[in-house]
Amino acid sequence: MALAEAILVCLTDRPMSGYDLAKTFDASIGFFWRASHQQVYRELAKLRERGLVKSSEIEQSGKPNRIVHTITTAGKNALKSWSQKPSRVPSVKDELLVKLYALEHVDIPALREQLEVRLDHHRAILNAYHKIKERFYDGKDLTISEQGKHIALTMGIRSEKEMIKSYEEALVMLGQVGS
């Protein structure tokens, strides 16, 4: 399971609390691997047990104390050996495509609306990607670490653009159905 490794990857950047990690999984690395805060906290406990991170509580007044997690040497080794194992093809599960596939048995106006919603979603993500790209990567000398993130981002941008075109095309094709 790669949630563990995704967390370790985040911690190579800097030590973080569960709360920080949960936010990260809602943005940057979350573009490639999604996780909720409950998943993050549970996985952190396991990582600590396995000795891949070490955790220390930091006193705060007012707010609850932060527990900050740091990747250990064992954690870095685990990342390296994970990187050598084959990566699974992510399994496709898209209700919207199933609905399109089942066009005859479906409420078409409702489906059109869902396609519009999905379209907006991908436009928003593309926008977010573009902003990150401009802000952090365009016209700069990149370190190896930044180059990796830049490549991943570039792939994301391409795929979002294409999904947008796909959904637009699907809406056009849907408009012609039955005619």
Partner DNA sequence: AACCCATATGCACATAATTGCATAGTTAAA
Partner DNA sequence: TTTAACTATGCAATTATGTGCATATGGGTT
Interacting residues with DNA (CB under 7 A): 1, 3, 17-20, 22-23, 34-39, 41-42, 44-45, 60-68, 91, 93
* Token code pair at residue 22: 């949960």
* Token code pair at residue 158: 């391409």
Q: How far, in Å, are 22, 36, 81, 122 from residue 25 at the CA level?
A: 5, 7, 23, 18
164, 122 contact by CB (below 8 A) = yes
Pick the closer one to a copy of itself by CB: 62 or 90: 90
Coil/strand/helix, residue 70: strand
* Token code pair at residue 157: 């941008």
Q: How far, in Å, are 105, 117, 118, 119, 164 from residue 100 at the CA level?
A: 10, 15, 13, 15, 16
Restricting to residues 139-168, name those near a copy of itself by CB under 8 A: 143-145, 147-152, 154-156, 158-159, 162-163, 165-167
Pick the closer one to DNA by CB: 98 or 173: 98
Pick the closer one to a copy of itself by CB: 45 or 173: 173
Which residue in 64, 73, 88, 141 binds a copy of itself (CB under 8 A)?
88
* Token code pair at residue 41: 């906290």
Say which entry of a copy of itself, DNA, none residue 42 contacts (CB below 5 to 8 A, set by partner kind): DNA
Say which entry of DNA, a copy of itself, none residue 119 contacts (CB below 5 to 8 A, set by partner kind): none
Is residue 130 involved in binding a copy of itself (CB under 8 A)? no
Q: How far, in Å, are 2, 41, 81 from residue 32 at the CA level?
A: 11, 19, 20
Question: What are the residues binding a copy of itself (CB under 8 A)?
Answer: 2, 5-6, 9, 12, 29-34, 76, 79-80, 83-84, 86-107, 110-111, 114, 117-118, 121, 143-145, 147-152, 154-156, 158-159, 162-163, 165-167, 169-170, 173-174, 177-178
